[in-house]
Amino acid sequence: MIGLDAIGVAAATLPAAVAVHHARDRGAPTRWRNAGFWGIFALLLGAGPWLPDLVDGCLVLAMVALATLGLRPSDVASSGADRRRADAARLGAWLFVPALMLPAVTLAGTLLVGDGRIAGVALIDPKQVTLAALVIGAVVALTLAVVLTRPPRAAPVAEARRLVDSIGWAMVLPQMLAALGGVFAMAGVGKVVAGGMVHVVALDTPLAGTIAYCVGMALFTMVLGNAFAAFPIMTAGVGLPLLIRHFNGDPAVVAALGMLSGFCGTLMTPMAANFNLVPAAVLELRDRFGVIRVQWPTALMLLAFNIAVLALCAFPGRWR
């Protein structure tokens, strides 16, 4: 049965290919440092579940050491601007087909194979159907892109390396921060946060509790870089015991708007690299934090609106 372990092996193919490409680049001054970083990342993705926890931890520290020493990008042979303009004129809107196939296949797989059974045979873990469909969608999108553009055989890996080098070590932040959020939740950080807020802020009204919960979600997301990592901490510390149990708030409203508050924090932090730093690198913006500078006013307005909606909708009896 296809589960999370097999999906991890599939995900490891990208950093593994980048590592091999770096290792074969004799002209790059830091080729072994770069190859080692992406090679270790591939090893953790593909074989991490079968390695002892101590070994996994040591490999993560090795990645940190290599990133601290510096992952210098080097030039990668690519098609010129004239060739790209000619291909764009020739293909036109067909260029969007591979990109659109990724969400299309993922959605179709999730809806059509929700129980993980194909022709009556259980092939996919029902909990991982969406991720498995995402992997299939990536393969389909890559195949279509190669068929449409007809690049040299080495181009997909070379372009993958060029993109990965432009992003750098920030590419692994989502995985690292999600793991950190899980560690915080298991360590009981939510209870510590709740205790601290009770001593600092008078959480004796639904409005005060709502402000503490929503602002706390935004701030923790800014620190962790991931609303999914901040959610169990703030919900276990403030949302569940205070807003839901003490003030009898609607659990669905509290959870939904609490997560939305976390997304407001995502818009304002460089720790959310896949949302803020990666687009700046891909678009080759001069200002590395340009995306954040544009987003933060909207994030603050949305957070204030979110607090008002949560206070009114989750506790309707309090305002009659």
Buried b vs exposed e over 40-76: b needs ≥16 C-beta within 10 Å? bbbbbbbbbeeeeeeebeebbeebeebeeeebeeeeb
Name residue 35's amino acid: A
d(CA 212, CA 234): 9
Long-range contacts of 250-253, Cβ-Cβ distance < 8 Å, separation of 24 or more = 250/313, 250/314, 250/315, 253/310, 253/313, 253/314
Identify whether the C-beta of residue 292 lies closer than 8 Å to the C-beta of residue 268: yes
Distance CA 214, CA 234 (A): 9
pLDDT of residue 158: 85
pTM: 0.71
Identify the pLDDT of residue 200.
64
Q: Please give the pLDDT value at position 227.
A: 85
- Going residue by residue through the chain (320 aa), what tens digit of pLDDT does each one get? 788 888 889 989 999 999 999 998 887 888 899 999 999 999 999 998 899 989 988 999 999 999 888 888 777 766 666 777 777 788 788 888 888 998 999 999 888 887 878 877 778 888 888 888 999 999 999 999 888 888 888 888 888 888 888 778 878 877 777 677 677 777 777 667 666 666 666 667 788 888 888 998 998 888 887 787 788 888 877 888 888 888 888 888 888 889 999 999 999 998 887 788 778 877 778 888 889 999 999 999 999 998 888 888 777 665 54
Q: Which of 166, 172, 282, 273 is nearest to 222 (CA)?
A: 273
**DSSP secondary structure of 94-127:** GGHHHHHHHHHHHHHHHHHSTTSEETTEE-B-GG
Q: How far is CA 8 from CA 45, 52, 105, 273, in A?
A: 5, 16, 19, 21
CB of 227 within 8 A of CB of 269?
no
Task: State the DSSP code for 22.
Answer: H
H helices present in the chain, as ranges: 4-11, 13-23, 31-47, 53-69, 81-91, 96-112, 129-149, 155-167, 173-186, 189-200, 206-224, 227-234, 251-266, 273-282, 290-314
Q: Which of 267, 255, 259, 250 is nearest to 312 (CA)?
A: 250
Looking at residue 241, its amino acid is P
Give whole-number Cα distances, 72 to 62, 68, 162, 164, 279, in Å: 17, 11, 12, 11, 19
